[in-house]
Amino acid sequence: MSGFSTRLYRRPGEAARFPASFLDALAERLRATRPKGKASLIAIDGWGCGGKTALAEGLLDRLEPVVQYFGMDDFFVGFGHEDAASPVPHLRWGEVREALACLGATGRAAVRTYDWEGARVLPPRDIEGGAWLVEGFTA
């Protein structure tokens, strides 16, 4: 399956926090990036409320459908299920690492996303693509 339903809920105007010339130049640089494997993985990481989602929106406005969105919120463990042994206790970190490794190497991965409305982890489904914008708070 190409395409990946994500939890990035667009907020009109939010990308305007960044100058259009900056977003245009960054998008152009990203278009020139060539993957070492089968897919390019472009990461946006940082503290909560730091502008990651606004930056992702501005870039996706310029790069979709070639670049797809891959959000860390899709790998939430669920309330009350934090894993103290994980480097990122609120995420299913092993699944994040495996999905990103598979996407980078083969352009395909099986992922189990979190259903926020149903408060549950969904069964695995296949995703594929040649370029992914990976956004989320991991620290």
Q: Which residue from 107, 120, 138, 115 is spatially nearest to 40, judged by alpha carbons?
A: 107
Closest residue by Cα to residue 65 from 9, 133, 13, 10 = 133
What is the spatial distance between Cα 125 and Cα 50, in angstroms, rounded to a whole number?
A: 30
For residue 10, the model assigns a pLDDT of 64
Check residue 26 and give its pLDDT.
96
For the chain of 139 residues, list the mean pLDDT of each consecutive stretch of 10.
Answer: 50 84 96 88 87 92 92 90 88 94 94 92 94 82
DSSP secondary-structure letter at 73?
G
Structure tokens at 104: 């980078």
Question: CA–CA separation, 29 vs 24, rounded Å?
Answer: 9
CATH class for the domain made up of 14-136: alpha beta
Strands (E), 3-63: 40-45
Write the CB contacts of 57 (distance below 8 Å, at least 6 apart in sequence).
8, 10, 11, 14, 15
Query: Residue ranges of the domains in the chain?
Result: 14-136
Asked if residues 93 and 82 have their Cβ atoms less than 8 Å apart, the reply is no
The pLDDT of residue 46: 85
Give the predicted TM-score (pTM) of the model.
0.84
The 3-state DSSP class for residue 16 equals helix
